[in-house]
Each structure stands twice: as structure tokens, then as C-alpha cells.
Structure 1
């Protein structure tokens, strides 16, 4: 297969179960780069066995970690995938067909569509998991990730192009995995809020749950996915509330920041 001059980059920490499928789904990338933040499983060995160059980078937060990873790329055009994501055969074919023109253009980014499996099967109606539009392929001289610790996004100057075929996201295998991620992501988000001295506004908490639940369950059509739609809407709304009550605790008891960091580190959730 002809390689194309772009880099596939994956940032990892203990992704031995996922990294091979992710890397193997992009056989036409001229470079596969894994930026690892200290895995103690077989992530690094598996990545190297599947053709990746591995670079160590201590954890900086999602946005800074992505920007640091991009600096290690041997090519200006970069495709970022998470370790639990992979290209579908349809998107692979579309990329091979359209990438030569894109790589020689003045465009800044390409928008890809992500479809997500939840509780072992694809979501059919819930919009964020059916065809979420994400900027994941970009020219590093024309785009840059925000510096947010979590929920980072790509910012760019210039034109964007859209690809039609989706890529796959193997969402958290169980709700236990999801809730552990909630603890980690909420902590990072609250630290960002704390840095910005954001007001607490605990009085909004009941309204936050209701509005977040109704947004996902009704407006984003989760209701049409049956019980799984109810569950995904509740989990999203509960996360929105937990961030706020954890932030309240953080502001009221600053010592809880280090205490939480210690317990999260003990369970491998501090990065």
C-alpha cells in the first residue's frame, strides 16, 4: 500500500487492549507516532510491534499533551486518533482517495465523523454518538489545540473540508470504566476552573441536571435509543452536576485538591 506523507498520532497511557487495532487501521500513514505518558502495561511494546515510533512525554493535560505530541511529528499534516478509535474501511478508502489533494492544499483541517458503540452496540439515534463531527486531521502550522486540561478542542485559521465516511469509537467497555473516567475528567475540568477563579454557583446545580438530561434525552434523540438512551443521558447529566459539586468542595476546602490527587494517583487516574 502506498504511504501518504502525514503522521498518525496517538497519545496513550495503559492502552494495551486498544492500541494495535488503532494503529493497524491506518496502514497508509507514512509515520505512526505514539506519545506515551508512562504506561506500565504492554502499550509501548505492542505499539512498536505494530510499526509505531514511541516517544515518552510526562502527562501535561489533554490539550498541552496533544500539542507536545504534534511537535514530535515528522510531517506537517497530522491525524489524531484516540487509542480506542479506528478507521472504518469506508473512511480508509475515502482518505486514500482524497488525501493527496488535501495534503497539497491550503486547507487547515479536515472534519471527520465519529460513530460510537455503547454497551456493546452502536447507538442508532443519539446524535453525539451517531455522527459527531470532529476536527482530527490538520496542518500543524495552521491549527493548534487549546491548552485545556480536558475537553480540549482544535482551533484553526483557514478552510476546512469534510469527509463523509465515519471512524469508530469503542466507548468505555462498562459503566465502571465510564465512572472512573468521569472522576478523572471532572478533576481536570475543576482544576481549569480553579485556575480561572470561576464562580461556584451551586444554586444552578438542580437546573444543570435537568437541562443536561433533557438536552441529551430529547433534543439529541437519545430517547429513541431505548434504555441505553436513558442511561447515557443520565450519566451525562450526572457528570455535569458532579463537576460542580466537586468544584464547590475544591473552593471550600483547598486541601482536597492534593488529597484527591493522591487517591486518583493510587488508582492510575492522575493523568
Structure 2
């Protein structure tokens, strides 16, 4: 026997990816979908998988996910984005982990779709806490790049989530613009110094870190374009903060 599991997903107009997401977790004991006003087929897809669907206005990435977690019936929660899906190997690893979980949470690796291909093998994968005991966990509260904060030991699970993300360059640029605006509030309270120097130097550092050190050069031109957009995002974060301070 394993611990019962609630899969939690937040949605907004995600008909292109939600079907694959929910199909990969249909084995779970419960699927909870918290929607923020979808007008496409998102709700119909969620209903087709027997999900328990609730709706509320979007409260911010962290707060919205916390509200969805609070709706879960079971103690153990798997938190997924609507553009993520679990390969069969990951499903098996999660089920085994829930047979006797000795920790408060598990980190999972995430493999990224980069425009027209998966990131290359041997590229450094990001990892996030996504499987956790919700009585000992909470969302971090950040405007963007929100994460699960766990009160207790965390183990690394040998499992990978497939993240389809932005399907084209325009989508990734739009996300960089949106996220950099949201990050202004977070960074403004921490008052980083030398903003003009950061605008000049940090984009190059971000490009080298992403393209060379993390190994995205192995993905060819897809990796190069993604690294350039990442560097642009790094520039926007500090440029928008500088703009806010100049305006008072």
C-alpha cells in the first residue's frame, strides 16, 4: 500500500497541454484543478479526467498554487503545472516513494522543451520540490519563481517531469517580459545596489551560465536562442527596477 495522493494543478486557458498533463496522473487518488477563468476547453478537459474543479480569480503564482494545495483531500500532494507531464518511469518512482515516505518532501528533475526539441542529453536539469506532505510544506510567497518550502528533510527522487513550456520564441519573450515586471516588486524591497553596472554586466554572465555552464550549447540553435532570451530577461529585471527608482 502507498500513501493516497492528490495531484494539484492550476490552470488558465491551457487546452493545448492539459490533456497530456492529466493523462499522466490519472492513476492518482485525486486530481484537483484550480482555474482562474479559462474560456477555452480547459474545464471540459479537467472534467473528462474526473478532476475536482474549483475556480477563483488569479491571486498571483504563489498564492494561487497555495490555494490549490489547500483544496487537496490527501496529505501527500504532487504539484504540477498545466504544461507538465510525467513519463511512465517517473510515475513508477513516485508510487514507490509513497509506499513508505521517510521524508517531508521529494525533489524531481525537470526536462525542458526548447522551442522545437527537448534539451540535449547531459544538459544540467533543474530540480524542484513537487511531491510533499502538505501538512509540512507551503509555497514561498514569491511573485515569480515560486517554490515549495518544506519543514523537514527532503530527498532527491530519481524521476523527471517533462515541461513543455513556451512552444515558440514569441511565447518565451512574452514570459520574460511578464516575469521581469513581477520581479520588480520582489527586488525593490531587497534594494540591490549598482543597478547600472548590473544592467551592463549581468546579461553576459547570465548567457554564459545558461549556454556554457549549464550545457545548453548542446541543443544547437535552440539552445543559443534560449540563452539569448534568458540574457534579455536578466537585463529586463534590472532595467525595470532602475526605471522604477528613476521615477520615484
Q: Same fold (TM over 0.5)?
A: yes
Quote the residue 2:202 is aligned against: 208
Q: CA deviation at 1:117?
A: 1.6
Quote the residue 1:32 is aligned against: 31
Q: CA deviation at 1:193?
A: 2.6
- 3-state DSSP of counterpart to 2:107: strand
Moved over 4 A (4+): 195-200
1:229 pairs with 217, 223, 239, which one? 223
Quote the residue 1:14 is aligned against: 13
Q: How far, CA to CA, are the matches of 1:28 and 1:219 in structure 2?
A: 38
Distance 1:68 1:199, change over 3 A: farther
Superposition pairs of residues 84-233 of structure 1, within 5 angstroms: 84-102=83-101, 105=102, 107-125=103-121, 127-128=123-124, 131-196=125-190, 201-233=195-227
- 3-state DSSP of counterpart to 1:233: helix
Q: Tell me the TM-score normalised to structure 1 length.
A: 0.85
Q: How far, CA to CA, are the matches of 2:52 and 2:194 in structure 1?
A: 44
Distance 1:113 1:219, change over 3 A: same
Distance 1:157 1:4, change over 3 A: closer
- 3-state DSSP of counterpart to 1:242: helix
How many residues of Structure 1 are paired with residues of Structure 2 in the alignment? 248
Q: How far, CA to CA, are the matches of 2:142 and 2:197 in structure 1?
A: 25
